[in-house]
Amino acid sequence: MKRIIGKSMFAALVALTGIATSAAQANEGRKTLVLDLAEAIKIALSENPTVKTADMEILRYDYVRREAVGNHLPTLSAGGQLGYNIIKSEMAEGMSFDPDLMIAASVDLSVPLFVPAVYSSLKMTRTQQALAVEQARSSRIDLVNAVKKGFYQILLLEKSYNVLHESRSTIQATVNNTRTMYEAGLASEYDLLTAEVQLSNLAPNIIATENGVGVAKQMLRMYLSIPENVDLQLIGSLDNFRENVFSMPNPNTDLDGNSQMRQLDMQQSLLRQQIKLTNTGYMPSIIAYGAFSVSGMDKTSSFMGGSEPDPNATTPDPNMPVTVGMLEQMMGGGGVTQTDKWRWQTPFSAGLRVSIPIFTGLKEHNKVKQLRNQVAQIDLQKDYLREAKLLEARTAINALFTARETMLANEKTVAQAEKAYGIARTRFDAGAGTMLEVNQAQLAVTQSRLNHSQAIYDFLAAQADYNKVIGLDN
């Protein structure tokens, strides 16, 4: 799914989002794309191949609709023929009616007056195009959901990394201070070892979080179809989205906008239209037609001359072949002069062509039964899908409320943990407390901050899932 952005598109991104390139990055050929959530969604919707494919499918069905419209219009065709008889067919005693050279041209016009299948097919193409539009909307909804959750995931990991890095700095300072106190005989070796162990335990978490940021950015880069040599720098933090927790309207379980439900409705409507199209096989069709043709035959042979008979001429040899020209003279049809070497005919016909199906082997009957069976299947799928989507909506709503309450509780916990750490640190510096108390207090601060960030992420992710299930594409 990854695709390299062209130079023109990348220049546009530079103008829209502002790309800052440091000297070191320039030497390495890497760039940094700075963007917020709105810009990330905009780029994804314009560059992701899934969305582009869905848009092309809409265009394809527009061409299908135009093709169906063309079946309503008259058809006009023209043809021609040029022939030369190399070996002529002969009758008894060498008589031949074939000309040496023949030219023919024709024009045919057909106008559909009453063709039920054509009208039904046009309605079907309109439904197919509407289904393609809904499928494109579904692709956009899925993509927006993926981009949002990917964006939030990066912010969560970056926040976690910062919290862990800050905690490591604090614990490092504690280790240094404890070592100084240990060397002065004011702290025990146990306190020093405890502080050093806590510092060492943070290293794997920091490395894992840093790697997680790289993987999450790679996923977001894939959704946005951005090349790998472009680094992403996101604007904002999870705390900037805290207001979303309180500004979101009351959620509900209205599934009228759910794209999957809409697609099933359209597929069922399409099947019913196919039933109507199949039933048109029992109906007659009426087409008006007109045909005009021009044909000419060459009369250059020795027996096709049209001159007056010579009274002094001798009786023809009975073994000599008789042709059309000779037959015309014998039948009194000689009226064509020697200079007029062609004989032309211009027939014209027009009328109505009626087609009435009588028996077609019960094909339509069995086809209708197949389609009705599929309609019944979709009825079952709709009921099951509605229950599943209602469950998804209720799950997302519960997650929203849970994450909001958890976030509010964690905000108080963070304040309390920071206060407790300050007290423990003061007691240890005064010699009244132990390093174990300080370590536990520091661990509580780190954990409460991570839990607060996780609660905000959980709310934002649940909000994205809720918007997806009810059919919001923003």
Range of the domain at 395: 7-73+116-282+362-470
β-pairing, 230-234 with 285-298? unpaired
Whether residue 2 has pLDDT greater than 60: no
The Cα–Cα gap between 462 and 148 comes to 11
- Find out whether 88 and 301 touch, Cβ atoms under 8 Å: no
The Cα–Cα gap between 128 and 265 comes to 12
Whether residue 198 has pLDDT greater than 70: yes
Whether residue 260 has pLDDT greater than 70: yes
Asked whether residue 54 is domain-assigned, the answer is yes
Asked whether residue 215 is domain-assigned, the answer is yes
Asked whether residue 318 is domain-assigned, the answer is no
Mean of per-residue pLDDT scores for the chain? 82
pLDDT tens digits, one per residue of 122-174: 889 999 999 999 999 999 999 999 999 999 999 999 999 999 888 888 888 88
pLDDT at 97: 65
Whether residue 320 has pLDDT greater than 90: no
The domain tally of the chain equals 1
| Residue 211: CA count within 13 A, CB half-sphere | 6
Positive or negative: CA dihedral 197, 203, 206, 209: negative
Q: Which of 241-245, 315-319, 328-332 has the lowest mean pLDDT?
A: 328-332
CATH number at residue 43: 1.20.1600.10
Identify the band that residue 394 occupies on the pLDDT scale cut at 50, 70 and 90. very high
Pure H helices in 100-254: 116-183, 189-224, 244-247
pLDDT tens digits, one per residue of 414-456: 999 999 989 988 888 887 777 778 888 888 998 999 999 999 9
Asked whether residue 324 is domain-assigned, the answer is no
The Cα–Cα gap between 329 and 308 comes to 9
- Residues of the chain with pLDDT > 70, as a percent, come to 83
pLDDT at 328: 47
Asked whether residue 13 is domain-assigned, the answer is yes
Between residues 80 and 316, the one the model is more confident about: 80
Backbone angles phi and psi of 358, in degrees to 5: -110, -50
Asked whether residue 35 is domain-assigned, the answer is yes
Identify the band that residue 40 occupies on the pLDDT scale cut at 50, 70 and 90. very high
Asked whether residue 394 is domain-assigned, the answer is yes
pTM: 0.76
Asked whether residue 344 is domain-assigned, the answer is no
- Find out whether 337 and 306 touch, Cβ atoms under 8 Å: yes
The Cα–Cα gap between 68 and 124 comes to 9
The Cα–Cα gap between 147 and 34 comes to 15
pLDDT at 167: 86
Give me the mean pLDDT over the 35-64 stretch. 92
Whether residue 15 has pLDDT greater than 70: no
pLDDT tens digits, one per residue of 218-248: 999 999 999 888 888 999 888 888 877 777 7
pLDDT at 143: 95
- Residues of the chain with pLDDT > 90, as a percent, come to 46
pLDDT tens digits, one per residue of 349-366: 999 999 998 888 888 889
